[in-house]
Amino acid sequence: MSAKAAENCPSEENLPEENTYKNLVGTCTDININEMPFVIEEKGRVESAEKQIKKYNNSLLLEKAAESCPSDENPSEENTYTNLVGTCTDINVNELPFVIEEKSKMEPNAFYTEYKRLPNGDVSRCQAAQLPENRIKNRFKTIYPYDHSRVVLEERWTDSYEDYINANYIKDFKDEKRYLAAQGPMSKTSSDFWRMILQERVECIVMLTNLIEGGKNKCFKYWPDKGEHLKVGLCRISLLQEIKYAFYTMRKLSIERTDTPMKRDIIQLHYTSWPDHGTPEELDLVQFHRATMKRDKTGSPLLVHCSAGVGRTGTFIGYDALLRRGKETGRINVFEFVKQMREDRMTMIQTKEQYAFLHKALACGFLGEGMILKQTDLEIKINQLLNDNSPQNQQPLYKEYKLLSSLGQELRDNSTKVENDVTKATNSRDDKHRVYLTSYIKGRSDYINAVIVPSYTDLRGFIMTTYPIPDTDIDLWRLCVDHEVDVITVFVSTKGIWWIPQRGQSRACSPFYITNQDTGSEVRGVIQEQLVLTEQKNRRDITLFRINPEKEEHTLQGVRLLLEKNMGEDVKTLVIGQDGNRATALFIVLYNVLQQLRLDKEIDVLTAVRRIQSRNPNVFTTLEEYRMCYQMILDSVSEEVYANV
């Protein structure tokens, strides 16, 4: 250890050498964010040694925790252990992944222990909510707004004076009323909801529930369909635009008063894939939040609601506020902020799973911001990245790749589940994303070595798999039927493939019959054909793209053809490769990035690659593969520009 590092770190008697090494790579000192991927890599090397001295370190830290945390009379061991991992202290955002790892390994789980210590229930008065005339306006009998922080409606829309809505002001870490946390509107409270929007000058609504979940009504549809109008009190609401993405929908609404000339637009970001009684993927929430912040730049309060307005709502508000604080100060305290939110509205962050998820989403948000390149100067920016002659460790593309590499290594380390059945491919998928076969065929299981990957606009847009073997081709056709596949994209050399018949021919794979119709075309290394898949009286038409992987331009042509086919309604695409990894992963990333460019006029390559790495961490493992992705995007954009001249 260097003398300089020794001076910066606190001295402890008999401190093990490995713990000293940990201090060397950043526990006790600030980290330059540009060097963060390298620090992560170094810390990973000492993980094994850290496990051996964990018991010793914990005993030292317990002693420190007892000194630094507020003392309680007769404190329990559980309380002290919770303090050990950060309940009472701020966390350096660079250390958050390691704090999460340590808390998750503790018995009992430190996140769950912390969650139990949060103030629960109604800790302040809720008299207005329990008045007879207001009780019917509460969606749930146990979730009320506190009197001191509730939103009081000022303007009358009827003869009677009703100032109640189940919503609270929520303060951010600067003690400013940045958020409105509300329950999902009911039919009888829809007009109150819009009164609040007008009164508080809301410009952006974040909706975190679907209208119906698990067969239960979660929220009233308080906006109209496209081309229709909704009359609410003294207002008329119109839907101007609706764009559906993989896990959220963006709506642009217009609200105008019928009694005054007032008219303005409001953006609603509707997260549509939050699992009922669960938590979403961290990367999904990060991307959704980024989309929200891109459209919420007015400084007006951000209106956030789910159904009850406490669980998912608290999670999103916590993420936004703590991300802002972490970026501004470099430190966060999740426990204290959740506690602060619960002073403004009861039960914010409703489950221990949401509390743990918030930490993980924040770690993902702090670590995972790649370069956002705008369409206006995309060619210039990519050329600058690819032709940067500065020292490699100073190049933006190299830094982004190192960040990606460290995140990918974490995924590879966590991907330990291996299928034992020798008939299944060795790179078996995590059950969370794998494809299940639902059709019954005697002697067959529900397993196929395939994984679901979102497109930019469809949560289940792609299925990625490998070539079948003679015993598993039947499962490939089951997959096409069970998951309503519209397009098969297969990477194949000139030798062809045995399990798809040649043009004008058919083959049986009982109970299926596959016909390759006597039509087709070939453009720039991509053969397009039409398959008919039949099972008794059932028929499915499938477009087949055969892509020769020998040249990059062939892959790009396949992406273009699929983008053209997807111009209207989203299609389900099965992508098949000989290795199941590199060619198929590159195809999906290119498709998603170019689809993002068409819709949002910008690209985010890092997020597109991270999303596919979360399904298969063994892709994009070299800098050259990552550079190739940028190069092929540049080639595609340059060709489109040239074609339009």
Active-site residues: which are they? 306
State the pairing for strand pair 487-491/573-577.
parallel
What is the rounded CA–CA span in Å between residue 80 and residue 157? 54
What is the rounded CA–CA span in Å between residue 516 and residue 597? 34
Phi-psi region of 577 (alpha: psi -120 to 50; beta: other; left: phi over 0): beta
What is the rounded CA–CA span in Å between residue 643 and residue 627? 24
CA trace torsion 311, 316, 320, 321 (10° rounding):
-10
Report the amino acid identity of residue 83: N
- Give 497's Cβ-side CA count (13 Å radius): 22
390 φ, ψ to 5°?
Answer: -70, 165
CA nearest to 350, candidates 320, 306, 286: 306
What is the rounded CA–CA span in Å between residue 210 and residue 447? 30
Name residue 466's beta-bridge partners: 577
Contact 307, 338 (CB under 8 A): no
Tokens found for residue 86: 């950060």
Place of tokens 């018949």: 501
b/e map of 418-440 (b: 16 or more CB within 10 Å)?
eeeeeeebebbbbeebbbebeee
State the pairing for strand pair 177-182/167-171.
antiparallel
Cβ burial of 278 (10 Å; 0-12, 13-18, 19+) is exposed
State the pairing for strand pair 462-466/447-453.
antiparallel
Contact 49, 18 (CB under 8 A): yes
State the pairing for strand pair 235-244/248-257.
antiparallel
What is the rounded CA–CA span in Å between residue 149 and residue 168? 5
Phi-psi region of 561 (alpha: psi -120 to 50; beta: other; left: phi over 0): alpha
CA nearest to 540, candidates 528, 553, 529, 531: 531
Place of tokens 């770190």: 9
Cβ burial of 153 (10 Å; 0-12, 13-18, 19+) is buried
What is the rounded CA–CA span in Å between residue 107 and residue 130? 41
What is the rounded CA–CA span in Å between residue 153 and residue 464? 52
What is the rounded CA–CA span in Å between residue 237 and residue 41? 53
Q: What is the DSSP string of 209-247?
A: S-SEETTEE-----SPPTT-EEEETTEEEEEEEEEE-SS
What is the rounded CA–CA span in Å between residue 175 and residue 324? 13
Contacts of 53 (CB under 8 A, 6+ apart): 16, 18, 19
Place of tokens 């004008």: 504
- Omega within 30 of 0 (cis) for the link into 511: yes
